[in-house]
A = this chain, B = another copy of it.
Amino acid sequence: MQPIQKNRSSSSAASTGSTKIKVRGYHLDLYGHVNNARYLEFLEEARWAIFDARGDLEAWAVHGLGFYVVNININYRAPACLGQVLEIRTEIDRVKNHSATLKQTVMHSENGEVIADADVTFVVVDINNRRSMPLRGDILDEIKNVFG
């Protein structure tokens, strides 16, 4: 199996695993705070952005592999309000035989206050037979390249 990698540009090598999102009116709910469900879109946006910078989703697709999230455990620690800029940091927390867990933290970009943090656990799936792949060899290397 070929490496699941793209030629990384120097700019993507500089990527820090951090994504910024500004809170807009359509993100809010009746309390004037970002809605619970919307945070999961912010976390997903951050994972895609990292993948853009460091990974190669097409190569994974060519290998017939996909990522399925199997668990999200999210703490809502403080409300986020209109106009605040949120920074989402993503790093790998632990890797087991068949799953890996990312730690994602949503902070106020100015003062670093933690708004929410989440453990997001995913498996790598063979899309044809829907079985989860063992996380070793090239697959593990690439996970570490992208999220590590």
Please tell me the number of chain A residues within 8 Å of chain B, measured between CB atoms: 33
| Interface presence of A93 (CB below 8 A) | no
Contacts of A38 in B (CB 8 A): 37
Query: A38-B37, A69-B36 are contacts. A26–B29 as well, Cβ < 8 Å?
Result: yes
A36-B69, A69-B36 known; A48-B76 Cβ under 8 A: no
Binds B, one of A1-9, A39-47, A104-112, A139-147: A39-47
Q: For the complex, what is the distance from the CA of A26 to the CA of B71, rounded to whole Å? A: 17
Is A135 an interface residue, CB under 8 A from the partner? no
Count of chain copies: 4
CA–CA, A94 and B40, complex, Å:
25
Tell me if A32 is interfacial: C-beta within 8 Å of chain B.
yes
**Distance of A40 Cα from B29 Cα, bound (Å):** 14
A40 nearest in chain B by CB position: B37
Question: Would B36 and A72 count as touching, CB distance under 8 A?
Answer: yes
Chain A contacts to B: CB under 8 angstroms: 22, 24-26, 28-32, 35-38, 40-41, 44-45, 48, 52, 57, 66, 68-77, 82-83
